[in-house]
Structure 1
Amino acid sequence: MTDSPTTAATRLVQAYYAAFNAGDRETMLGLLTDDVAHDLNQGARETGREAFVAFMQRMDTSYRERLEDIVVMANVDGTRAAAEYVVHGEYLADDAGLPPAHGQRYVLPGGAFFAIRDGRIARVSNYYNLEDWIAQVG
Protein backbone atom coordinates (compact mmCIF):
# COMPACT_ATOMS: atom_id res chain seq x y z
CA MET A 1 0.00 0.00 0.00
CA THR A 2 1.29 3.44 -0.94
CA ASP A 3 1.31 6.33 1.53
CA SER A 4 -1.09 9.18 0.92
CA PRO A 5 0.62 12.42 -0.21
CA THR A 6 0.03 13.87 3.27
CA THR A 7 1.63 10.88 4.99
CA ALA A 8 4.56 10.83 2.54
CA ALA A 9 5.24 14.54 3.14
CA THR A 10 5.01 14.09 6.91
CA ARG A 11 7.41 11.13 6.81
CA LEU A 12 9.85 13.09 4.63
CA VAL A 13 10.03 15.96 7.13
CA GLN A 14 10.28 13.53 10.04
CA ALA A 15 13.19 11.79 8.27
CA TYR A 16 14.86 15.19 7.74
CA TYR A 17 14.68 15.98 11.47
CA ALA A 18 15.74 12.46 12.48
CA ALA A 19 18.84 12.91 10.31
CA PHE A 20 19.43 16.36 11.82
CA ASN A 21 19.27 14.98 15.36
CA ALA A 22 21.57 12.10 14.41
CA GLY A 23 24.11 14.49 12.90
CA ASP A 24 23.69 12.64 9.59
CA ARG A 25 24.24 15.49 7.14
CA GLU A 26 24.53 13.16 4.13
CA THR A 27 21.02 11.81 4.71
CA MET A 28 19.72 15.35 5.19
CA LEU A 29 21.25 16.39 1.86
CA GLY A 30 19.74 13.37 0.14
CA LEU A 31 16.28 14.57 1.15
CA LEU A 32 16.75 17.96 -0.57
CA THR A 33 16.28 18.95 -4.19
CA ASP A 34 19.42 20.18 -5.98
CA ASP A 35 17.95 23.69 -6.13
CA VAL A 36 16.64 23.74 -2.53
CA ALA A 37 15.71 27.20 -1.26
CA HIS A 38 16.75 27.79 2.34
CA ASP A 39 15.22 30.81 4.07
CA LEU A 40 17.38 31.68 7.05
CA ASN A 41 15.67 33.03 10.15
CA GLN A 42 15.65 36.83 9.82
CA GLY A 43 18.08 36.54 6.93
CA ALA A 44 18.47 36.02 3.22
CA ARG A 45 17.42 33.11 1.05
CA GLU A 46 20.20 30.74 0.05
CA THR A 47 19.71 28.47 -2.94
CA GLY A 48 21.18 25.08 -3.77
CA ARG A 49 22.71 22.16 -1.92
CA GLU A 50 26.19 23.71 -1.85
CA ALA A 51 24.83 26.74 0.01
CA PHE A 52 22.98 24.40 2.37
CA VAL A 53 26.18 22.43 3.06
CA ALA A 54 28.07 25.67 3.83
CA PHE A 55 25.26 26.77 6.18
CA MET A 56 25.29 23.45 8.04
CA GLN A 57 29.08 23.62 8.39
CA ARG A 58 28.76 27.07 9.97
CA MET A 59 26.01 25.83 12.26
CA ASP A 60 27.94 22.71 13.30
CA THR A 61 30.95 24.86 14.17
CA SER A 62 29.01 27.25 16.42
CA TYR A 63 26.12 25.19 17.78
CA ARG A 64 25.21 21.76 19.10
CA GLU A 65 21.46 21.36 18.82
CA ARG A 66 18.82 18.70 19.27
CA LEU A 67 15.19 19.20 18.31
CA GLU A 68 12.54 17.75 20.60
CA ASP A 69 8.74 17.70 20.72
CA ILE A 70 8.61 17.77 16.91
CA VAL A 71 5.14 18.01 15.39
CA VAL A 72 4.80 17.81 11.60
CA MET A 73 1.72 18.72 9.56
CA ALA A 74 1.24 18.49 5.78
CA ASN A 75 -1.38 19.56 3.29
CA VAL A 76 -3.60 17.09 1.48
CA ASP A 77 -1.57 17.01 -1.75
CA GLY A 78 1.75 16.66 0.07
CA THR A 79 3.36 19.74 -1.51
CA ARG A 80 3.71 21.70 1.71
CA ALA A 81 4.46 20.86 5.30
CA ALA A 82 5.13 22.64 8.56
CA ALA A 83 6.91 21.64 11.73
CA GLU A 84 6.97 22.98 15.26
CA TYR A 85 9.67 21.94 17.71
CA VAL A 86 11.76 22.92 20.71
CA VAL A 87 15.48 23.47 20.15
CA HIS A 88 17.78 22.35 22.98
CA GLY A 89 21.16 23.78 22.19
CA GLU A 90 24.62 24.82 23.24
CA TYR A 91 26.44 27.83 21.78
CA LEU A 92 29.98 26.53 21.15
CA ALA A 93 31.84 29.14 19.10
CA ASP A 94 31.24 32.77 18.18
CA ASP A 95 28.85 33.31 15.26
CA ALA A 96 29.37 36.57 13.34
CA GLY A 97 27.24 39.44 14.60
CA LEU A 98 26.02 37.54 17.65
CA PRO A 99 27.12 37.56 21.31
CA PRO A 100 30.37 35.76 22.27
CA ALA A 101 30.05 32.03 22.82
CA HIS A 102 31.19 30.26 25.96
CA GLY A 103 29.08 27.12 26.06
CA GLN A 104 25.77 28.79 26.90
CA ARG A 105 22.78 26.47 26.82
CA TYR A 106 19.40 27.50 25.46
CA VAL A 107 15.91 26.13 24.97
CA LEU A 108 13.95 27.82 22.23
CA PRO A 109 10.70 27.11 20.40
CA GLY A 110 11.00 27.13 16.64
CA GLY A 111 9.27 26.20 13.46
CA ALA A 112 9.79 25.60 9.78
CA PHE A 113 7.81 25.56 6.57
CA PHE A 114 8.60 23.22 3.70
CA ALA A 115 7.81 23.00 0.01
CA ILE A 116 7.98 19.47 -1.35
CA ARG A 117 8.56 18.48 -4.96
CA ASP A 118 9.02 15.00 -6.42
CA GLY A 119 9.43 13.42 -2.97
CA ARG A 120 12.14 15.82 -1.84
CA ILE A 121 12.31 19.04 0.13
CA ALA A 122 12.49 22.02 -2.24
CA ARG A 123 12.28 24.78 0.37
CA VAL A 124 13.01 25.08 4.09
CA SER A 125 12.01 28.31 5.85
CA ASN A 126 13.16 28.40 9.49
CA TYR A 127 11.75 30.64 12.21
CA TYR A 128 12.57 31.27 15.84
CA ASN A 129 12.64 34.27 18.15
CA LEU A 130 16.15 35.69 17.80
CA GLU A 131 15.63 38.15 20.66
CA ASP A 132 14.71 35.27 22.98
CA TRP A 133 17.86 33.37 21.90
CA ILE A 134 20.05 36.44 22.46
CA ALA A 135 18.53 36.97 25.92
CA GLN A 136 19.35 33.36 26.81
CA VAL A 137 22.96 33.41 25.59
CA GLY A 138 23.80 37.12 26.12
Structure 2
Amino acid sequence: MNPLDLIRAYYDAFNRRDHVAMLALMTDDVVHDLNQGDREKGRDAFRAFLARMDRCYGERLEDIVAMASDDGSRAAAEYMVHGTYQSTDEGLPEATGQRYVLAGGAFFEIRGGRIARVSNYYNLADWLAQVSAGC
Protein backbone atom coordinates (compact mmCIF):
# COMPACT_ATOMS: atom_id res chain seq x y z
CA MET A 1 0.00 0.00 0.00
CA ASN A 2 1.44 3.40 -0.86
CA PRO A 3 1.83 5.91 2.00
CA LEU A 4 -1.12 8.13 1.07
CA ASP A 5 -3.46 5.15 0.72
CA LEU A 6 -2.17 3.84 4.07
CA ILE A 7 -2.96 7.14 5.83
CA ARG A 8 -6.37 7.36 4.17
CA ALA A 9 -7.17 3.78 5.23
CA TYR A 10 -6.07 4.60 8.81
CA TYR A 11 -8.38 7.61 9.05
CA ASP A 12 -11.26 5.82 7.30
CA ALA A 13 -10.96 3.09 9.96
CA PHE A 14 -10.76 5.75 12.71
CA ASN A 15 -13.98 7.36 11.52
CA ARG A 16 -15.68 3.94 11.47
CA ARG A 17 -14.27 3.18 14.95
CA ASP A 18 -12.83 0.03 13.44
CA HIS A 19 -9.99 -0.74 15.83
CA VAL A 20 -9.14 -4.05 14.18
CA ALA A 21 -8.58 -2.34 10.83
CA MET A 22 -6.51 0.45 12.42
CA LEU A 23 -4.28 -1.98 14.28
CA ALA A 24 -3.79 -4.11 11.14
CA LEU A 25 -2.21 -1.07 9.48
CA MET A 26 0.45 -0.81 12.23
CA THR A 27 3.68 -2.61 12.94
CA ASP A 28 3.74 -4.80 16.07
CA ASP A 29 6.18 -2.36 17.69
CA VAL A 30 4.29 0.82 16.70
CA VAL A 31 5.26 3.94 18.65
CA HIS A 32 2.51 6.37 19.63
CA ASP A 33 3.43 9.88 20.76
CA LEU A 34 0.39 11.29 22.53
CA ASN A 35 -0.32 15.00 22.27
CA GLN A 36 1.62 16.70 25.07
CA GLY A 37 1.98 13.33 26.75
CA ASP A 38 3.92 10.13 26.98
CA ARG A 39 5.30 7.83 24.32
CA GLU A 40 3.60 4.44 24.19
CA LYS A 41 4.93 1.38 22.39
CA GLY A 42 3.22 -1.61 20.80
CA ARG A 43 -0.17 -2.55 19.46
CA ASP A 44 -1.50 -3.48 22.91
CA ALA A 45 -0.80 0.03 24.20
CA PHE A 46 -2.46 1.52 21.12
CA ARG A 47 -5.46 -0.79 21.57
CA ALA A 48 -5.85 0.49 25.16
CA PHE A 49 -5.57 4.08 23.93
CA LEU A 50 -8.34 3.46 21.38
CA ALA A 51 -10.59 1.95 24.08
CA ARG A 52 -10.11 5.05 26.26
CA MET A 53 -10.79 7.31 23.29
CA ASP A 54 -14.03 5.47 22.49
CA ARG A 55 -15.12 5.65 26.13
CA CYS A 56 -14.36 9.35 26.61
CA TYR A 57 -14.68 10.94 23.16
CA GLY A 58 -16.93 10.60 20.18
CA GLU A 59 -14.83 12.02 17.36
CA ARG A 60 -15.02 12.27 13.60
CA LEU A 61 -12.20 13.67 11.51
CA GLU A 62 -13.09 15.79 8.49
CA ASP A 63 -11.23 17.75 5.82
CA ILE A 64 -8.30 15.32 6.02
CA VAL A 65 -5.27 16.27 3.93
CA ALA A 66 -2.44 13.73 3.76
CA MET A 67 1.12 14.26 2.51
CA ALA A 68 4.06 11.89 2.11
CA SER A 69 7.80 12.13 1.59
CA ASP A 70 9.18 11.16 -1.80
CA ASP A 71 10.74 7.99 -0.40
CA GLY A 72 7.50 6.95 1.36
CA SER A 73 9.09 6.63 4.80
CA ARG A 74 7.26 9.59 6.34
CA ALA A 75 3.78 11.04 6.05
CA ALA A 76 1.69 13.72 7.70
CA ALA A 77 -1.97 14.60 7.91
CA GLU A 78 -3.97 17.64 8.91
CA TYR A 79 -7.67 17.55 9.74
CA MET A 80 -10.53 19.06 11.69
CA VAL A 81 -11.73 17.14 14.74
CA HIS A 82 -15.49 17.24 15.38
CA GLY A 83 -16.13 15.71 18.75
CA THR A 84 -18.24 15.17 21.81
CA TYR A 85 -16.66 14.82 25.25
CA GLN A 86 -18.85 12.00 26.53
CA SER A 87 -17.12 10.59 29.63
CA THR A 88 -14.61 12.28 31.94
CA ASP A 89 -11.01 11.48 31.07
CA GLU A 90 -8.54 11.31 33.97
CA GLY A 91 -7.00 14.69 34.82
CA LEU A 92 -9.36 16.65 32.56
CA PRO A 93 -12.54 18.66 33.19
CA GLU A 94 -15.80 16.84 33.85
CA ALA A 95 -17.53 15.58 30.72
CA THR A 96 -21.13 16.63 30.20
CA GLY A 97 -21.49 15.96 26.49
CA GLN A 98 -19.66 19.11 25.43
CA ARG A 99 -19.08 19.48 21.69
CA TYR A 100 -15.85 20.78 20.20
CA VAL A 101 -14.23 21.47 16.84
CA LEU A 102 -10.49 21.95 16.53
CA ALA A 103 -7.62 21.50 14.13
CA GLY A 104 -5.38 18.48 14.56
CA GLY A 105 -2.50 16.81 12.83
CA ALA A 106 -0.26 13.79 12.90
CA PHE A 107 3.15 12.71 11.71
CA PHE A 108 3.81 9.13 10.66
CA GLU A 109 6.83 6.91 10.16
CA ILE A 110 6.16 4.12 7.69
CA ARG A 111 8.07 0.85 7.58
CA GLY A 112 7.30 -2.15 5.40
CA GLY A 113 4.01 -0.65 4.24
CA ARG A 114 2.73 -0.18 7.80
CA ILE A 115 2.60 2.62 10.34
CA ALA A 116 5.59 2.35 12.67
CA ARG A 117 5.05 5.65 14.52
CA VAL A 118 2.20 8.12 14.86
CA SER A 119 2.64 11.43 16.67
CA ASN A 120 -0.63 13.31 17.26
CA TYR A 121 -0.98 17.05 17.82
CA TYR A 122 -3.81 19.44 18.61
CA ASN A 123 -4.17 22.65 20.60
CA LEU A 124 -4.96 21.44 24.12
CA ALA A 125 -5.65 24.99 25.38
CA ASP A 126 -8.27 25.44 22.64
CA TRP A 127 -9.89 22.10 23.50
CA LEU A 128 -9.94 22.96 27.22
CA ALA A 129 -11.53 26.36 26.51
CA GLN A 130 -14.21 24.75 24.36
CA VAL A 131 -15.16 22.03 26.84
CA SER A 132 -15.00 24.45 29.80
CA ALA A 133 -17.35 26.85 28.02
CA GLY A 134 -19.77 23.96 27.43
CA CYS A 135 -20.03 22.99 31.13
Q: Tell me the TM-score normalized by structure 2.
A: 0.97
Deviations 1:6-55 (A, max 9, x none): xx101100000000001111000000000000000000100000000000
**RMSD between superposed Cα atoms in Å:** 0.7
Identify the residue that residue 15 of structure 2 maps to in structure 1: 21
1:131 & 1:97 partners in 2: Cα distance?
A: 14
Identify the residue that residue 24 of structure 2 maps to in structure 1: 30
Identify the residue that residue 110 of structure 1 maps to in structure 2: 104
Runs of 4+ residues over 4 Å off in structure 1: none
User: Does residue 120 in structure 1 map to residue 114 in structure 2?
Assistant: yes
1:125 & 1:41 partners in 2: Cα distance?
A: 7
Q: Tell me the TM-score normalized by structure 1.
A: 0.95
Identify the residue that residue 57 of structure 2 maps to in structure 1: 63
Identify the residue that residue 48 of structure 1 maps to in structure 2: 42
1:94 & 1:22 partners in 2: Cα distance?
A: 22
Gaps of 5+ in 1: none
Question: How many residues were matched structurally?
Answer: 132
Secondary structure in 2 matching 1:20: helix
Identity %, equivalent residues: 67
Secondary structure in 2 matching 1:134: helix
